[in-house]
Structure 1
Amino acid sequence: MSARVTDQADGLRRLLGQAPVRVVAVAGMGPGAGATTAAMSLGAALAQQGKDVLLLDEHHPKVRSVCDVWALGPRGTLADVASRRLRIDQATASAVCGVQVLPASPGATIDPRTLWPRGIVLVDATFDGEGCLSPLAQGADELLLVLQPHPAAITSAYAGIKRLHRAHAMKQLRFLLNGVADAGTAQQVMHNLAQAASRYLALSLLPVGWVRTDPWLSDAARLRQTVVEAFAASAAAVDFRAIADDMGRWTWRTPARPAVFPQALAA
């Protein structure tokens, strides 16, 4: 599908009062950042809001991938749906919370909006060996980076942000602090990061909030659920729901569709 056809489809949806599908790639800045947990928890929170959520699992079939944590066995992959070997409802597996999960190769170049015409698509995204984004993440409307608020993690994350900026000429990124013990420290870290990115990279680095350190997270993992599903009153669940609620108010970038996928051009 060409960019022109995609724009026309968006225009038609707006005329009919339908919001365009938003694609959000979630990526962890460093080992143990908690990006997969964040993607799953945000997906569960969005599903609880009544949103249609597709979660693309680029880490499948690794241990601690989305499919592994939720103990799901999808019948197909994104490639199977793109090639029409399976319909998307045949290929996906449904988590108990209602999120539809589909494995996706990190090299996949299909635009998921052509396959999922409603709601939101989350990508549990991978980086390649040089720290560059997968094609799915490059084509997302938003890139949400997940990082820990510790000094070494912040230093490493900033270096990774510089690599992303250099590799993809990105103008805007969003980020989430995960595992926060002190709100005041989190606010200072977010301010400092945003200021440094603006001053030295001319990059808009937008904080979406933080998720507090929470002992209920490990109990939820043991139950193969997110904390949003298992322990709705916990601090982390409250934080994830607040971020998910705010996602619907994120300003669309211009253009909303920054990337055109090679397969779409060839179709």
Structure 2
Amino acid sequence: MGLALANPVQDQAEGLRRLLVRDFPRIVTVASGSAGVGMTTAVINLATALVRDGKDVLVIDENTGANNLGGTLGLRAHRDLLDVMRRDKTLDEVIILAPPGFRLLPAGRGMRMLGKLGSRDQAHLIDCFARFAPPADVVLVDAAAGRASRLLPLNCSSHEVVVAVSPESASITAAYALIKHISGEHGKRQFRILVNKARTETEARIIFDNMASAANRYLTVSLDFMGFVPPDDKLRQSVHLGRPVIESFPAAASVSAFRQLAESLTRWPYREGENNSEGGGLKGFMQCLIQAGQGSDTNPASAGSHGRREQQVNHV
């Protein structure tokens, strides 16, 4: 049997597709129903694994305080997305280059003000993200735990949402409640599940299967299994060191898991609108967040008060 000849037209089309996808990064929001699941640690190590795989990664951190993603790495963020909204700083001036090699955007204070932006501030912020360069291959969003997150109205079907859960019954209940809230209030129908601290894949699969069955039956929601990370003393030790476990203990059991998760993420099929100019990219993501934030600001007295909104942003 002769060798199959390469199809130059098909190869050219595939190359073009990759170039187009490069302009519209894969955007993944990692959420959890409660604190203590290990979500921030997972985001750090997933981002590091992606960087090691040659990907350009931007991490958006919605959390504030010493235990946020930057603080976990020993970084002090003197600026925030709010400074961009106020026009005090550019997006490039706010972003930090984290030691693992990914870019970090502290956004906790800014996210709280999205619902108060006037039309000119909205356009300014969207334009900042539209011109973001160099473009990222993957954007990971470390959302605040539970309903404290301002990213919950993620009804943009083109963006992925990963819900992190641990084997504890309270964590499973909180994760399911979060999925129920997001799907019921904001119409999100698809989620991916990351099981942290599961001793085996079998245990992780049982947790996922139970959640997926209940979500499908009672919420009409589809869940996909992203993977699991086993409990690992080296992972906990790396947190105390303020470094990714991939760098500190490359032979640790959890490192293999994070590498597999990173590889899996890059192979996810693109959802409708994820890699086009209408819904894809950071511009589309920010448009979605602003629209959701404006929708949640339903006070009639403030709905038409453009000047008051701008004043609130400038005096936070």
Query: How far does residue 16 in structure 1 lie from its aligned partner after superposition?
Result: 4.5
Task: Identify which of 150, 163, 187 aligns with 1:134.
Answer: 150
Query: How far does residue 77 in structure 1 lie from its aligned partner after superposition?
Result: 2.0
> What residue is the counterpart of 2:27 in the other structure?
23
Amino acid at match of 1:249: R
Task: Identify which of 107, 113, 133 aligns with 2:112.
Answer: 107
Amino acid at match of 2:30: V
Q: Describe the SS at the equivalent of 2:197.
A: strand
What is the alpha-carbon distance in structure 2 between the residues aligned to residue 36 and residue 127 of structure 1?
Answer: 10
> What residue is the counterpart of 1:90 in the other structure?
93
Task: Identify which of 126, 143, 149 aligns with 2:167.
Answer: 149
Query: How far does residue 95 in structure 1 lie from its aligned partner after superposition?
Result: 1.6
Task: Identify which of 35, 51, 59 aligns with 1:55.
Answer: 59
> What residue is the counterpart of 1:79 in the other structure?
82
Query: How far does residue 133 in structure 1 lie from its aligned partner after superposition?
Result: 4.5
> What residue is the counterpart of 1:255 in the other structure?
273
Query: How far does residue 135 in structure 1 lie from its aligned partner after superposition?
Result: 3.9
Task: For residues 212-264 of structure 1, give each alpha carbon's deviation from its aligned partner in whole angstroms, at most 9, with x where no partner exists.
Answer: 00000121012111212211111111101110111111122223238634758
2:264 equivalent to 1:246: yes
What is the alpha-carbon distance in structure 1 between the residues aligned to residue 228 and residue 190 of structure 2?
Answer: 18
Query: How far does residue 26 in structure 1 lie from its aligned partner after superposition?
Result: 0.9
Amino acid at match of 1:80: D
Task: Identify which of 63, 67, 84 aligns with 1:64.
Answer: 67
Q: Structure 2 vs 1, CA of residues 262 and 182 (structure 1 numbering), >3 Å: closer, same or farther?
A: closer
2:58, 2:136 within 8 Å by CA — same for their partners in 1?
Answer: no
1:81, 1:88 within 8 Å by CA — same for their partners in 2?
Answer: yes
Task: For residues 106-162 of structure 1, give each alpha carbon's deviation from its aligned partner in whole angstroms, at most 9, with x where no partner exists.
Answer: 33545585235332111111257xx27424872571111111012332123212221
Task: For residues 69-113 of structure 1, give each alpha carbon's deviation from its aligned partner in whole angstroms, at most 9, with x where no partner exists.
Answer: 111134532233456543433322212110111210333545585
Q: Structure 2 vs 1, CA of residues 41 and 252 (structure 1 numbering), >3 Å: closer, same or farther?
A: same
Query: How far does residue 171 in structure 1 lie from its aligned partner after superposition?
Result: 0.9
> What residue is the counterpart of 2:181 in the other structure?
163
Task: Identify which of 238, 246, 261 aligns with 1:220.
Answer: 238
2:46 equivalent to 1:42: yes
Query: How far does residue 169 in structure 1 lie from its aligned partner after superposition?
Result: 1.0
Query: How far does residue 186 in structure 1 lie from its aligned partner after superposition?
Result: 1.4
TM-score, with length taken from structure 2: 0.71
Amino acid at match of 2:174: S
Q: Structure 2 vs 1, CA of residues 14 and 118 (structure 1 numbering), >3 Å: closer, same or farther?
A: farther
What is the alpha-carbon distance in structure 1 between the residues aligned to residue 138 and residue 113 of structure 2?
Answer: 18
Q: Structure 2 vs 1, CA of residues 15 and 25 (structure 1 numbering), >3 Å: closer, same or farther?
A: closer
Number of equivalent positions: 251
2:46, 2:259 within 8 Å by CA — same for their partners in 1?
Answer: yes
Q: Describe the SS at the equivalent of 2:49.
A: helix
> What residue is the counterpart of 1:207 in the other structure?
225
Task: For residues 8-55 of structure 1, give each alpha carbon's deviation from its aligned partner in whole angstroms, at most 9, with x where no partner exists.
Answer: xxxxx8585442112111112212011111111111111111111111
Q: Describe the SS at the equivalent of 2:267.
A: coil
What is the alpha-carbon distance in structure 2 between the residues aligned to residue 235 and residue 174 of structure 1?
Answer: 22
Moved more, 182-191 or 82-91: 82-91
Unaligned runs of 5+ in 1: 1-12
> What residue is the counterpart of 1:5 in the other structure?
none
> What residue is the counterpart of 2:36 in the other structure?
32
What is the alpha-carbon distance in structure 2 between the residues aligned to residue 153 and residue 174 of structure 1?
Answer: 16
Query: How far does residue 197 in structure 1 lie from its aligned partner after superposition?
Result: 1.1
Q: Structure 2 vs 1, CA of residues 108 and 27 (structure 1 numbering), >3 Å: closer, same or farther?
A: farther
Percent identity (aligned): 32
Query: How far does residue 173 in structure 1 lie from its aligned partner after superposition?
Result: 0.7
Moved more, 85-94 or 146-155: 85-94
Larger of the two Rg values belongs to structure: 2
Unaligned runs of 5+ in 2: 1-15, 115-124, 295-305, 307-316
Q: Structure 2 vs 1, CA of residues 136 and 103 (structure 1 numbering), >3 Å: closer, same or farther?
A: farther
Q: Describe the SS at the equivalent of 1:217.
A: helix
What is the alpha-carbon distance in structure 2 between the residues aligned to residue 255 and residue 102 of structure 1?
Answer: 24
